Chains A and B, each alone.
Chain A
């Protein structure tokens, strides 16, 4: 039987196709668990997990915390806003202090790209990347691909377009790696200023016209415009962005086939997608949230099974 090829989940880039399929297969079982009357299994009752959030997050943290609790792990939470980071402590010191309290696994979100990998090479705990700057957000990509597989039966051979701010999006990069490993074709779509110059070298198609992109795809993943990461203006106004790249019901209904609409949340209703699209039966946004807990349980379970009991 299989085992994950990695000891930490720092990014999708270093996972194999087998790893991803193992995570999905295990997630199927957890999805059944979280729909039981008692949504909890005792597997991880001797594991302690620290959730270190050096950057704001609501849904990812909540999703990880629920996943941990439903596996019966003990959890501690830490957010940078109320910590010694403000007093000048380094990342390694902060984490080692927490690990001295016998923590087995760390779930970390950090504003710097590569922070999770850096940490995984230096501390004695399993590390799960919950987003490192503009680099990767592996569990989001896994739950996105899992949701596509659930809706369409398979990811291989499907055409997926990622629309929006590709430049600042860790979701986009992780999704590209994940979907390609599973055999899907990927296109990115957005204004020239928000598409990285060399992104085609990853083997993705680039399109600047939303309508053409939507006609090509089976699935459209609409990203949020991350105004908080944009220190300069990348497009004239939000209104102009919406005119060119906002997905409306009219556009959706004009397409030759029914595509699946995804969004990693939080949605800016009326900006990247309109309310009637977000609430339509073509959108699987709330399935993504439910699957997020199952996929995260799966990742935590599989990594924890590699921590040998002393």
Chain B
């Protein structure tokens, strides 16, 4: 397995910073906007964005976690059951601008489930999508991100992992390529 670091700690910091300013261009002071991270790994992206945004804006930005397990389209198609993580949306999303956030956008199926899950909480005025990494060329559904940290071209056999200091010890994005990849 070949490992290639495509974003190091410095790049991750710059990327988060740029995404924050892009969000502010659309959402101004976030008075009518909320960030919702998709469980499990979108949560870490939200934590970083929230930290940075609050420093820039000088006030709190409302954030939540959404678990999409019960909305997935592969229930009963796997050997092991899909075990849920916690959902934590203790605010009203009715007529809000919602930014859905995940670490890697690939097939688009997670986002499709996320949209379904989100609508169980109300009718937002607008929903946008932010992703740290966009693996283009293997979308199964017509879904695109509004904000992208970095776009990467990958083979199906490859894997992209967004790693965080608090979980893996270092902020970085790694591309794994299997050895027998001809």
Contacts and interface: CB of A to CB of B under 8 A. Distances in A.
Interface residues of B, number: 22
A151 interface: no
A302 B81 contact: yes
B80 A29 contact: no
Given A29-B84, A29-B87, A36-B120, A305 B75 contact: yes
A26 B76 contact: no
A38 B122 CA distance: 8
B71 interface: yes
Interface string B50-88: 000000000000000001011100011111111111110
A1 B84 contact: no
Nearest to A305: B81
Interface in A18-32: 22, 25-26, 28-29, 32
Contacts of A38: 119-121
Contacts, number: 61
Interface residues on A, range: 20 to 34
Contacts of B67: 29
B83 A26 contact: yes
A36 B122 CA distance: 10
A37 B80 contact: no
Dominant secondary structure of chain A at its interface with chain B: loop
B76 A29 contact: no
A1 B83 contact: yes
Of residues B85, B119, B120, which shows the largest number of chain A Cβ atoms within 10 Å of its Cβ? Answer: B120
A302 B121 CA distance: 24
Contact of B76 (A22, A32, A308): A308
Nearest to A36: B120
Contact of A42 (B78, B79, B116): B116
Given A26-B84, A29-B87, A43-B71, 15 more contacts: A2-B83, A22-B83, A29-B67, A33-B70, A33-B87, A37-B120, A38-B121, A41-B120, A42-B71, A42-B116, A44-B75, A301-B81, A305-B75, A307-B76, A309-B77
Closest 7 CB pairs of A and B: A41-B70, A29-B84, A305-B81, A38-B120, A43-B70, A309-B76, A1-B80
Interface of B: 67, 69-71, 75-87, 116, 119-122
Interface of A: 1-4, 22, 25-26, 28-29, 32-33, 36-38, 40-44, 46, 71, 301-302, 304-309
23 contacts: A1-B80, A1-B83, A2-B81, A4-B81, A25-B83, A26-B84, A28-B86, A29-B67, A29-B84, A29-B87, A32-B87, A33-B87, A40-B120, A41-B71, A42-B71, A42-B116, A43-B70, A301-B70, A304-B76, A305-B78, A305-B81, A305-B82, A307-B76
